[in-house]
Amino acid sequence: MRWTDLLANLGVVESATAPVEITSVEYDSRRIKAGDVFVAMRGGATDGNLYLEAAIEQGAAAVVTDSRAAYEVLRREHTSVGAALVEHGRRSLADVSAAVMGHPERRLALSAVTGTNGKTTTAFLLEAMLRSVRRTCVLIGTIEMHVGDEVRVSPHTTPESRDVLAIFADGVKVGATEAVMEMSSHALEQERVWGLPVDVAIFTNLTQDHLDYHGTMEAYFAAKARLFAGVGTPPPRVAVLNADDPYSERLIVDAEHSQMLLYGMEGKGEFRAESVQMLAGETRFRMVTPAGAVEVRSPLSGRVNVYNLLAASTAAWARGLTLDEILVAAAAGAQVPGRFEVVPGGDTGITVVVDYAHTEDALRNLIALGRELVKEHGGRVITLFGCGGDRDRTKRSRMGQAAGEGSDLVVLTSDNPRTEEPMAIIEEALAGVTATGTTCIVEEDRAGAIEIAIRSASAGDIVLLAGKGHEKVQILRDGTVPFDDVAVAAAVLKEIE
């Protein structure tokens, strides 16, 4: 693509033409190759404009910058390099990437999921439903990315716009017509999803999380709400909202230009769950829809997964699936790694579950499901959890209280302490557990804590290992080390068989 043609696609403050061809786009100077355009933008952690010289040395043919000073240096010292000064660096990254890659976002019907809890499972379920009717899909989310049948590692819940568009472009090459992605509040706030036209937007719920970044619940909600107003694009064609979450009432007003489809379990919404039966390894309910009522069966367990199934079913219906097609896909199930993942336990009679629950609300839901599954046999609920370092400190004692109120035994441990002292984090969470009077064992070493939790259990009990879910590392002050809750738990269970 010629630099002059690319400039025509950008809203620039000033620009300098150069007879150069653009082959790709990068925002990380370390990845620059000859012929690339480097988008230098100010970010939360660093300023890409500090790396102009490095990018040019590596062969950048042109630079788009949000810094007047950097632009003047380009005009004065690098006249053979194309240059453009823009007002918004991140928005321009999206615009440049879309243009260079041939606008793959226009060739995919995008369904986007936002909310505090349930994003990953809802996205997995929706993609499975779309794939079940032979639609080729792209999936971008917390655990992994899918490009057709290819599975890729997912470094972030929502990558930078350039990386999202590159995945979309790869999807288009293999015949994808659908995209499903989680949109985090950080990504919406930082405009990493700028310019993506969303066909169906899904809201799961909103509970306290990420206040270390957003500051207040109001700011956190405002970031989520941007999806329903459109981020550089018109509002979604369809807004799928949780009728039982009070924040949905405000989204209904904000999303006045979209078709509303509400789902819930409390008698409200176009898609409603009635006569819910929750069994070990199976959930059944009657789903009332605008096209009639049907009986849903799924191998997923628990009340929270009824909401996830309703959200995915509503979105699938909005994407043109019939109720019969939705039922078949729901019955097939879509096991999401680290989301109520049962660890094989041999003949111990102990159920061990690994789950990503890392907020007060998610922890309460997880424990409630555990209680439901053991009540028939009078088993106990043993909950292991920790709180992440360098994150919202105000939720720690509340998580401790949630664990203590619902469990028979709590094992409090470390969970990605990052730069903080693990025991300092544990002490803050311990205050909440202590207030409930529930017995609590403290073990800083997570592997040791998992062993304590499992060896404290008897046949008929359930052990809930909360917080890390699908993660395969532990993030410490001195670096990142391999760690897998599932593998550690499986090894303990094997020893006590």
Q: List residues bridging with 238 in a β-sheet.
A: 200, 259
DSSP 206: -
> In this structure, what token pair is assigned to residue 161?
């716009």
Place of tokens 């290992």: 465
Residue 119 has phi, psi (to 5 degrees) of: -60, -50
**DSSP state, residue 331:** H
DSSP assigned state of 204: -
Task: List the binding residues for ATP.
Answer: 115-121
Pair 60, 81: CB distance under 8 Å:
yes
- Token look-up 């659908």 returns 178
Longest dimension (CA), the chain: 78
Q: What count of other Cβ atoms lies within 10 Å of the Cβ of residue 177? A: 14
Q: Which residues pair with 110 in a beta bridge?
A: 179, 198
Structure tokens at 354: 């690994």
Alpha-carbon span 58 to 68, nearest angstrom: 22
What is the SS3 assignment for 238? strand
Q: Check if the beta carbon of residue 276 is closer than 8 Å to that of residue 285.
A: yes
- Binding residue positions: 29, 115-121, 157-158, 184, 190, 192, 391, 415-418, 467, 471
120 in helix, strand or coil? helix
If one counts every other C-beta atom within 10 angstroms of the C-beta of residue 277, the result is 10
Write out the binding residues for meso-2,6-diaminopimelate.
391, 415-418, 467, 471
403, containing H or E segment: helix 396-406
Q: Long-range contacts: 313-316, Cβ < 8 Å, 24+?
A: 313/129, 313/263, 313/271, 313/287, 313/289, 314/202, 314/240, 314/261, 314/263, 314/270, 314/271, 315/111, 315/122, 315/126, 315/200, 315/202, 315/238, 315/240, 316/126, 316/129, 316/130
Pairing of strands 137-140, 440-442: unpaired
